[in-house]
Amino acid sequence: MNPTDTAAAAPRRVAVVTGGSRGIGRAVAERLAHDGLIVAVNYASDSASAQETVKAITAAGGQAIALQADVADEHAVTAVFDRVEAEFGGVDVVVNCAGRMALSPIADLDLSVLDAVLRTNVRGTFVVAQQAARRLRAGGSFVAFSTSVVATQFPAYGAYTASKGAVEALTLTLARELRGRDVTVNTVAPGPTATDLFLDGKTDEQIEALAKTPPLERLGTPADIAHVVAFLTSREGHWVNGQILRANGGMA
C-alpha cells in the first residue's frame, strides 16, 4: 500500500472543547478545527454562541457539533463524552476552557460567590479531567486552564487564583497517573487576554495599565492562546507533559 494511502485512511482526530462558545474557548475550537480535528463545542447555557462557533467552523470547511453541559455536573459531562464517542469513534484531545471569575477583596467576598467559582473552576476541571483520563486514546492530550495571576497575585483575585491554583496542582499528578498511556496533561495560564471574561467590570484605565504590564506591552488575544493549545495537542508538542505554560507576553 502506498504510504499516502495509509495516511489518507487514518481516522480524523476528535476534540472536546468545554467553554467553546466564546472567548478563548471559541478560538481554541476554531483553531483545532482548522488543524483538521472534529470538534465538539461544549457550552453551559449560551446555545446561540455555541451554534455560531459551529457555523464558523463548518463555513471554513471543518466539522463540529455543539453539546450542552455544566462542566461541574458529572452526569451531563459523561453524556457529552458518550455522544462524542458514539458519533465519532473516540476522543483524542480534551481542552477545558470553561471557567468563572469573580473579583473582590477576600474580606468582602460573598461566600456563595466563592462556592460558584470553586464549583466551575475546581470541580468542573476535575470532572472533565476525569472523563479525559478514562477516554483519551493513545497519542491524546488534555489541556486545562489556569491564570498567570496565580504568580502575579494581584489584589481582588483571591477566589479566582485559589481555584486556579488547584488546577495547577492537579496537572502533574494526572500526567503521572497516566503513565504508559501515551497521553499528555498540561495547563495553560494566560496573562491579560482581551475576552469578555477579562474585560467585564474593568475601567479603560485598568485595562490600559494591565496591557502595559507584559514586556510586549499589549493584551493577549484569544488566538494567541489558541496557538499554544494547538501546539500542546499536536504531534510536535507531545513531549511537553505535566507542565504549567504561562502564555502572558513576559509577565511573572
Q: What band does 144 get if pLDDT is binned at 50, 70 and 90?
A: very high
Buried b (16+ CB within 10 A) or exposed e, 182-208: ebbbbbbbbbbbebeebeeeeeeeeee
The least confident of 7-16, 102-111, 181-190 is: 7-16
- pLDDT at res. 135: 98
CB of 15 within 8 A of CB of 95?
A: yes
| Count of domains observed in the chain | 1
Give the tens place of pLDDT for each residue, 213-252.
Answer: 899 999 999 999 999 999 999 999 999 999 999 999 999 7
In a domain, 137, yes or no: yes
Q: What is the pLDDT of residues 13-46, one digit of tens each?
A: 999 999 999 999 999 999 999 999 999 999 999 9
Q: What pLDDT score was predicted for residue 61?
A: 98
Residues 126-142: pLDDT tens digits? 999 999 999 999 999 99
The contacts of residue 56 (CB under 8 Å, 6+ apart) are 26, 30
List, by residue number, the catalytic residues.
160
CATH number at residue 102: 3.40.50.720
The answer to whether position 252 is within a domain reads: no
pLDDT by residue (tens digit) across 32-85?
A: 999 999 999 999 999 999 999 999 999 999 999 999 999 999 999 999 999 999
Q: Is residue 3 part of a domain?
A: no
pLDDT for 167 beyond 50: yes
Report d(CA 147, CA 169) in Å as an integer.
Answer: 13
Q: Is residue 251 part of a domain?
A: no
Following DSSP, what letter does each residue of 28-75 receive, concatenated?
A: HHHHHHHTT-EEEEEESS-HHHHHHHHHHHHHTT--EEEEE--TT-HH
- Please check whether residue 5 lies inside any domain of the structure: no
The answer to whether residue 21 sits within a structural domain is yes
Q: What percent of the chain lies above the pLDDT cut of 70? A: 96
Whether the CB-CB separation of 130 and 96 falls below 8 Å is answered with no
Question: What residues form DSSP beta bridges with 247?
Answer: none
Please report whether residue 196 resides in a domain: yes
- Of the two residues 200 and 76, the one the predictor is more confident about is 76
Band (201; pLDDT cuts 50, 70, 90):
confident
70 is in which domain, residue-wise?
A: 12-244
Note the pLDDT of residue 11. Answer: 84
Residue 138 resides in a domain: yes
